[in-house]
Amino acid sequence: MAPSNTNPVAVADEVLQKSRVTVVGSGNWGSVAAKLIASNTLNINSFHDEVRMWVFEETLPSGEKLSEVINRTNENVKYLPGIKLPKNVVADPDIEHAVKDANMLVFVTPHQFMEGICKRLIGKIRKDAVAISLIKGMEVKKEGPGMISTLISEILGISCCVLMGANIANEIAVEKFSEATVGYKENKEIAEKWVRLFNTPYFMVSAVQDVEGVELCGTLKNVVALAAGFVDGLDMGNNTKAAIMRIGLREMKALSKLLFPSVKDNTFFESCGVADLITTCLGGRNRRCADAFARNGGKRSFDELEAEMLQGQKLQGVSTAKEVYEVLSHRGWLELFPLFATVHEICSGRVAPSAIVEYTEHSARLPLL
Binding-site entries for NAD(+): 25-30, 56, 113, 169, 285, 314, 316
Sign of CA dihedral 258, 167, 340, 313: negative
Residues 128, 136 contacting (CB under 8 angstroms): no
Strands (E), the chain: 19-24, 47-54, 89-92, 104-107, 130-133, 138-141, 144-147, 160-164, 178-183, 203-208
Catalytic residue numbers read: 221
Among positive and negative, which fits the CA dihedral 50, 53, 54, 58? negative
Instruction: Give the CA count within 13 Å in the CB-facing half-sphere of 246.
Output: 8
Check: CB of residue 255 under 8 Å from CB of residue 205. no
How far is Cα 94 from Cα 320, in angstroms, rounded to an integer? 29
Residue 158 · residue 152 · CB < 8 Å: yes
Binding site members for substrate: 136, 285-286
CA distance 341 to 204: 34
Query: Contact at 8 Å (CB) between 114 and 148?
Result: yes
